[in-house]
Amino acid sequence: MKISTQEVAHVARLARLTIDDAQLDLLAAQLGDILTYVETLNRLDTSGVEPTSHAVDICNVFRADEPVASLDRNAATANAPEALDGNFIVPKVIE
């Protein structure tokens, strides 16, 4: 299946990626090749087949509702690009 550069740009926006114009053409070609290949799946009739989202059949896993210690707040923010007093600093969101 062919995928247009406009579609690639749309998906890039959804994925929060900035793709420059030169890369758009290359990605459209590469994704088109891969999508053409995966369409071999359409040769299979899968009507009525349950999808598998997990290899092992596990249902809900619960634990006792008991509080346990969590990560120290300063340790949790220590890897942040910008942090202050245990808070993450981000660019201004609302103008």
For residue 14, state whether it binds other proteins (rule: CB under 8 A). yes
| Least separation in angstroms between CB 25 and other proteins | 14
For residue 31, state whether it binds other proteins (rule: CB under 8 A). yes
The structure tokens listed for 45 are 């009739």
Number of helical (H) and strand (E) elements in the chain, helices listed first: 3, 2
The structure tokens listed for 60 are 């809900």
72, 38 Cβ separation under 8 angstroms: no
Binding site for other proteins (CB under 8 A): 3, 7-8, 11-12, 14-19, 27, 30-31, 33-35, 37-42, 44, 46, 49-56, 58, 61, 63, 71-72, 75-82, 88, 90-93
